[in-house]
Structure 1
């Protein structure tokens, strides 16, 4: 009962009310909540989604996703331009977490972590291959959406792709407008921090070498851009 409230409990209903229909996702049709003793339950009925999740497994990390048409990537870029401007008081990432976790989990970089950029935008918050469908794009699982550093969703999709180099390269090409920006690079360091922390608990440990390599690449690019005055 004490957990039957808060961001994760209300996320899908909040998304149904607040996220515009231009962001493709299954419509939430009905919600039922009840209690039994000290336990609370919630059931949600959604539209049936055509197609399949891009990942062949329910985990965010898997083999290379199947081929996706150009229209799919175009739809994703549209989402990543429209979702950030949705107004909400929900939070996906907190400043206090960044202040605490980034110096710890990025200490291997051997230098200070760049300052947080001023732009915080609305994000899905869990954008990985098991939450995306194809060949027509739909985005699943809206429990944790809210404000995050600009570029967070693109950074997360790339981070979950580092174990498959050709997939990571495709993400970088298709989402270059976000990932090649200063804000996008910072968002990559944020997501890498989160995944390195979760790897300590045994989650997706196979990604760690690739995440650390990518963090070094991004960090050096940010430092080089800073020294050039950009």
Structure 2
């Protein structure tokens, strides 16, 4: 029971207390915890989400039909979330220092590991945690501080098997993704997904992830080499 009371265990209750209702999500009504033998259990009762999840898996296989209102609501929600003050941590600097050089070494250039900014993120923003046509964001176990742009970068990465949607993510979240911070966040996400691919997760995304990492790192290198 070593994880009882840890970040994932308390995430939903922390979110219910700390996050503004402007961030669309089912309200958490009731929590019950109990212990049997060496196992701890937790049950959570939520309000019903207004719509179904957009996908049954983290990564998209086909492009969903989402309205301009849905995308505007997502931008608003991520903006509200990023400004929330918290001591919770979704991505740790020690992980970046260790994992980014390892999983991005194929690029053949030095990769920075320290973000220019941190902000609050959902931490698991994929298509099975989003509902439509009415937006609701599910599963708040792991929210906390992450490199700025992390949620947008994660959603983009999980869209790469549906290029039309990946392009739409880049268009709708350009204010975040088309920045140095956003590109660094993409490298963080790519690192995580390449690591998880070693366990057999989302293998179809790997070629696109590697290609995108190469593009970003070479762009960063060229920018550093350009005289100001």
TM-score (norm 1): 0.96
> What do residues 177-228 of structure 1 show as CA deviations (whole Å, max 9, x unaligned)?
1111000000000000000000001111111001001111122222233334
| 2:103/2:195 contact within 8 Å kept | yes
Counterpart of 2:178 in structure 1 is: 180
Of 187-196 and 218-227, the range deviating more from structure 2: 218-227
Counterpart of 2:29 in structure 1 is: 29
Counterpart of 1:42 in structure 2 is: 42
Residue 84 of structure 1: CA displacement? 1.0
> What do residues 88-138 of structure 1 show as CA deviations (whole Å, max 9, x unaligned)?
110000000000000000001101002523311100000011000011110
Whole-angstrom distance in 2 between the partners of 1:86 and 1:229: 37
| 1:54/1:65 contact within 8 Å kept | no
1:107 to 88, 105, 108: 105
Q: What number of residue pairs does the alignment pair up?
A: 228
Whole-angstrom distance in 2 between the partners of 1:178 and 1:144: 21
Q: Secondary structure at the match of 2:59?
A: coil
Alignment of 1:55-204 (within 5 A): 55=55, 57=56, 59-204=57-202
| 2:131/2:137 contact within 8 Å kept | yes
> What do residues 34-69 of structure 1 show as CA deviations (whole Å, max 9, x unaligned)?
1111111000000001211111x2x20132242000
| 1:120/1:148 contact within 8 Å kept | yes
Counterpart of 1:51 in structure 2 is: 51
Counterpart of 1:20 in structure 2 is: 20
Q: Secondary structure at the match of 1:30?
A: strand
Residue 31 of structure 1: CA displacement? 0.2
| 1:196/1:208 contact within 8 Å kept | yes
Tell me which stretches of 4 or more aligned residues in structure 1 moved more than 6 Å: none
Of 153-162 and 211-220, the range deviating more from structure 2: 211-220
Whole-angstrom distance in 1 between the partners of 2:221 and 2:174: 19
Of 110-119 and 180-189, the range deviating more from structure 2: 110-119
Structure 1: gaps of 5 or more residues: none
Whole-angstrom distance in 1 between the partners of 2:224 and 2:134: 40
Whole-angstrom distance in 1 between the partners of 2:89 and 2:115: 16
Q: Secondary structure at the match of 1:73?
A: helix
Residue 85 of structure 1: CA displacement? 1.1
Q: Secondary structure at the match of 2:141?
A: coil
